[in-house]
């Protein structure tokens, strides 16, 4: 497999990624807690005053993160990468 081939396990959409991470969180509640903590860190400031009133990250920031990580602004991170990052980000110092 060359560097430009998308792995078969990589979600092709954000809803699929959310579904995959939700399923993993049901099997591992500690992962669910880690994902919620990381999601809260990335929320858009003032989200409570902007419809749809959800603590989501700024779209431009997510696109930049995907570009710096995967070389594509429209990439969707693999669930394994998100899980690994969440566990790393909330580990005890």
pLDDT tens per residue across span 8-24: 455 589 999 999 999 99
Domain-by-domain residue ranges, the chain? 14-89
Query: pTM here?
Result: 0.81
pLDDT tens per residue across span 49-74: 999 899 999 999 999 999 999 999 99
Q: Where are the alpha helices (DSSP H) in 43-78?
A: 59-70
Q: Where are the alpha helices (DSSP H) in the chain?
A: 14-27, 29-42, 59-70, 79-89
């Amino acid at each position: 497999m060359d560097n430009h081939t998308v792995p078969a396990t990589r979600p092709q959409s954000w809803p699929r990624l959310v579904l995959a991470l939700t399923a993993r969180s049901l099997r591992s509640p500690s992962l669910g807690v880690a994902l919620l903590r990381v999601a809260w860190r990335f929320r858009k400031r003032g989200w409570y005053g902007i419809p749809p009133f959800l603590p989501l990250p700024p779209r431009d920031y997510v696109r930049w993160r995907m570009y710096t990580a995967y070389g594509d602004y429209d990439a969707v991170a693999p669930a394994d990468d998100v899980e690994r990052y969440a566990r790393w980000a909330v580990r005890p110092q």
